């Protein structure tokens, strides 16, 4: 069912990557993110294999889902590319010595500094979003006497979300350039006219947590129509980047398409589209984030106060919450939990799992079925690998949690737990406020 190595060991504890999660809780403290490295390896290999029928392809991990120095190393060792969306992500990748030529730099408002850093680092592709950026890029490329290889981000007018998608004639998006009114074609012409910019291809990303993958077919066909249109104007598009978006299983109600099925659909659609249009198959790039790391992550918490409001609800509070997982409050995301110290007990009770922030919306699970809970139980919330740590905050000045990677029975820190000292490390008390009498 789920990818990865989750199991129940002889002690009756939840085990991930051959490591007892109760021991991990003791060793590293809670709350704790646990990355099942084997799951990332399995998912990556599945992606690579599923695209094998394409003459040229590249799987690029979307770092926004979860990025640390160690994660960059994992991605590198698997031979994947890396999609970064900010100077901070780029810096992290370079600090981890990630090969610059496999970095794809995204963003709808990259700063001059970010673009210059990317050029100086020699990143493989810059995904151009708009004309302003293109002009900055061209000036920088000339200044640095270099050629910059770019993809143009196009909004094909297909927008997909979990179960549905819509096709829009006009594309209302802060990202990229629309196909309508030949706006994208005009940008391609503009790119071709610039001296130090080398147009490699086009890019689209139609959404995230997608279950109905037929929308990718529609997007692919639209993109190939665009590639044909470009060819009529003498513009060769050699690379097509289809973005990310495949959905994962958060709760038992989710039924995502497998990576293999998704890869095969992309392959078939691309090969057919090229055959129909008598096109050479371009290099196909995909940028999975969530589907590579989402199910590989688990967060463990210690249960504290339990509040039973008779006839209304049972609340069990844990030692983390919206600071480490803002997705519930932000997107009404749903999660599934297991009690790691008694995973075999039947889920006969209904609890709402509350975080410890001073905010009523700070919940992790609304009315979830769980075994009887007691203070000290270790609760494991599944599928927290994507967009949890990367979106974590210090709200209420709660230190961000530690991240460990588990692999074949061994655990190692990817990120240390923040200390209270870390919380105030960048803060200053102005001199004026150090005087005795101020106001």
Range in contact with ligand LLP (rule: CB under 6 A) among 8-16, 281-289, 363-371, 399-407: 281-289
CA dist 436 and 318 (Å) reads 42
Are the C-beta atoms of 43 and 52 separated by less than 8 Å? Answer: no
The answer to the question of residue 125 lying near ligand LLP (CB under 6 A) is no
Cβ distance to ligand LLP smaller for residue 211 or 407 = 211
Does residue 159 touch ligand LLP according to CB under 6 A?
no
Total site size for ligand LLP, rule CB under 6 A:
21
Q: Which of 102, 327, 356, 400 forms a contact with ligand LLP (CB under 6 A)? A: 327
Residues 284, 295 contacting (CB under 8 angstroms)? no
Binding status of residue 59 toward ligand LLP by CB under 6 A: no
Q: Tell the smallest beta-carbon distance from residue 330 to ligand LLP (Å).
A: 7
Q: Among 10-18, 270-278, 284-292, 421-429, which window interacts with ligand LLP (CB under 6 A)?
A: 284-292
Phi and psi for 320 in degrees, rounded to 5? -135, -145
Distance, in Å, from the CA atom of 389 to the CA atom of 404, rounded to the nearest integer, reads 12
* 287 interacts with ligand LLP by CB under 6 A: yes
Is there binding between residue 295 and ligand LLP (CB under 6 A)?
A: no
- Residue 208 or 317 having the CB closest to ligand LLP: 208
| Cα–Cα nearest to 321, from 355, 350, 290 | 355
Across the strands, what pairs with 215?
A: none
CA gap 63, 287 in Å, rounded: 9
Is the separation of the CB atoms in 239 and 282 below 8 Å? yes
CB of 92 to ligand LLP, least distance (A): 17
Read off the tokens for 250: 């958060």
- Judged by CB under 6 A, the stretch of 89-97, 224-232, 243-251, 421-429 that binds ligand LLP is 243-251
Q: What are phi and psi of 415, to 5 degrees?
A: -140, 130
Residue 355 binds ligand LLP, judged by CB under 6 A: no
Report the C-alpha gap between 422 and 346 in whole angstroms: 41
Q: Is 244 in the site for ligand LLP (CB under 6 A)?
A: yes
Measured in degrees and rounded to the nearest 5, phi and psi for residue 108 equal -95, -5
With CA atoms as reference, report the closest residue to 210 among 271, 169, 259: 259
Q: Does 63 bind ligand LLP (CB under 6 A)?
A: no
Nearer to ligand LLP, 282 or 288 (CB): 288
List the one residue from 301, 387, 389, 407 that touches ligand LLP (CB under 6 A): 387
> Counting contacts by CB under 6 A, is residue 291 touching ligand LLP?
yes
Is residue 299 involved in binding ligand LLP (CB under 6 A)? no
Binding residues among 250-269 for ligand LLP as defined by CB under 6 A: none
SS (H, E, C) 106-126: CCCCCCHHHHHHHHHHCCCEE
In the complex with ligand LLP, the residue whose CB is nearer, 17 or 243, is 243
CB atoms within 10 A of CB 367: 11
211 binds ligand LLP (CB under 6 A): no
Check residue 223 for interaction with ligand LLP (CB under 6 A): no
DSSP-H helix ranges across 199-256: 214-232
> Which residues are catalytic, by number?
358
User: Is 324 a binder of ligand LLP (CB under 6 A)?
Assistant: no
Task: Determine contact, residues 329/407, Cβ cutoff 8 Å.
Answer: no
Neighbouring residues of 419: CB distance < 8 A, sequence distance ≥ 6? 399
* Residue 430 C-beta: closest distance to ligand LLP, Å: 36
Q: Which of 4, 201, 289, 343 binds ligand LLP (CB under 6 A)?
A: 289
Rg from Cα positions in the chain: 24
Q: Rule CB under 6 A: which residues touch ligand LLP?
A: 62, 64-65, 83, 106, 205, 208-209, 243-246, 287-291, 327, 331, 386-387
């Amino acid at each position: 069912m789920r990818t990865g190595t989750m199991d129940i060991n002889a002690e009756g504890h939840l085990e991930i990557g051959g490591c007892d999660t109760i021991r991990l809780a003791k060793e590293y403290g809670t709350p704790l993110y646990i990355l099942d490295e084997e799951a990332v390896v399995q998912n990556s290999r599945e992606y690579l294999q599923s695209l094998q029928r394409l003459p040229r392809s590249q799987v690029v991990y979307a770092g926004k889902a979860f990025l640390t120095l160690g994660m960059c190393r994992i991605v590198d060792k698997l031979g994947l590319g890396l999609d970064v969306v900010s100077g901070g992500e780029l810096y992290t990748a370079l600090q981890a010595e990630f090969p610059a030529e496999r970095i794809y730099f995204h963003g709808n408002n990259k700063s001059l500094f970010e673009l210059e850093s990317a050029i100086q680092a020699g990143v493989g592709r810059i995904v151009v979003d708009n004309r302003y950026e293109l002009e900055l890029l061209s000036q920088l490329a000339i200044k640095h006497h270099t050629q910059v290889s770019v993809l143009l981000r196009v909004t094909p007018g297909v927008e997909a979300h979990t179960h549905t998608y819509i096709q829009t004639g006009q594309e209302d998006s802060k990202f990229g350039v629309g196909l309508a009114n030949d706006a994208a074609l005009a940008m391609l012409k503009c790119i071709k006219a610039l001296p130090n910019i080398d147009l490699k291809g086009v890019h689209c990303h139609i959404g995230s947590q997608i279950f109905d993958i037929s929308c990718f077919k529609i997007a692919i066909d639209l993109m190939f129509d665009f590639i044909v249109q470009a060819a009529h104007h003498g513009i060769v598009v050699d690379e097509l980047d289809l973005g990310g978006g495949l959905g994962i299983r958060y709760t038992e109600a989710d039924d995502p398409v497998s990576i293999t099925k998704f890869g095969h659909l992309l392959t078939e659609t691309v090969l057919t589209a090229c055959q129909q249009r008598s096109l050479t198959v371009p290099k196909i790039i995909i940028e999975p984030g969530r589907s590579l790391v989402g199910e590989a992550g688990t967060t463990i918490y210690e249960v504290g106060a339990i509040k039973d409001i008779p006839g209304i609800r049972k609340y069990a509070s844990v030692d983390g919450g919206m600071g480490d997982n803002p997705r519930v409050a932000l997107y009404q995301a749903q999660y599934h939990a297991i009690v790691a110290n008694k995973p075999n007990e039947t889920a006969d009770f209904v609890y709402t799992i509350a975080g410890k922030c001073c905010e009523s919306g700070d919940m992790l699970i609304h009315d979830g079925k769980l075994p009887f809970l007691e203070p000290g139980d270790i609760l494991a919330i599944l599928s927290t690998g994507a967009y949890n740590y990367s979106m974590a905050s210090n709200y209420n000045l709660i230190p961000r949690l530690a991240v460990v990677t588990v692999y074949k029975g061994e655990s190692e820190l990817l990120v240390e737990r923040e200390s209270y000292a870390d919380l105030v490390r960048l803060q200053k008390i102005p001199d004026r406020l150090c005087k005795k009498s101020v106001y």
